[in-house]
Amino acid sequence: MTTKPPDAPDDLSAMPFETAMAELERIVAELEKGSVSLDESVRLYARGKALQERCEKLLAEAETRVEKISLGENGAPRGVAPLDVP
């Protein structure tokens, strides 16, 4: 009935993106089966929501670090510039 792997930290702030996404996928699969109790479904949903927020935060942080290549008039790379952040 438990979805969280034994090595998954309870503190999501230390969880890497790949681990959070894998656990989130396991939770979604378990909820889609519909074979868990209502209480367990609520617990899984809450954990899944927290994992989703963690993944979104990590993606946003990664996006701010992405650099784009600036091209000169002749199409040759001129250098890099930070990603435009709205």
Does residue 2 fall inside a structural domain? no
What integer pLDDT is reported at residue 4 of this predicted model?
Answer: 53
pTM of the model: 0.68
Does residue 55 fall inside a structural domain? yes
Q: Give the Cα separation of 15 and 17 in Å (integer).
A: 7
Does residue 26 fall inside a structural domain? yes
Residue 57 structural domain: 12-82
3, 35 Cβ separation under 8 angstroms? no
Does residue 40 fall inside a structural domain? yes
Does residue 54 fall inside a structural domain? yes
Does residue 47 fall inside a structural domain? yes
User: Using one digit for the tens of pLDDT, what is the confidence trace for 22-81?
Assistant: 999 999 999 999 999 999 999 999 999 999 999 999 998 887 766 555 556 776 766 666
Contact residues for 37 (Cβ-Cβ < 8 A; gap 6+): none
Does residue 4 fall inside a structural domain? no
User: Using one digit for the tens of pLDDT, what is the confidence trace for 3-16?
Assistant: 455 445 568 999 99
Q: Give the Cα separation of 16 and 14 in Å (integer).
A: 6
Q: Give the Cα separation of 7 and 16 in Å (integer).
A: 12
Q: How many domains does the chain have?
A: 1
Does residue 77 fall inside a structural domain? yes
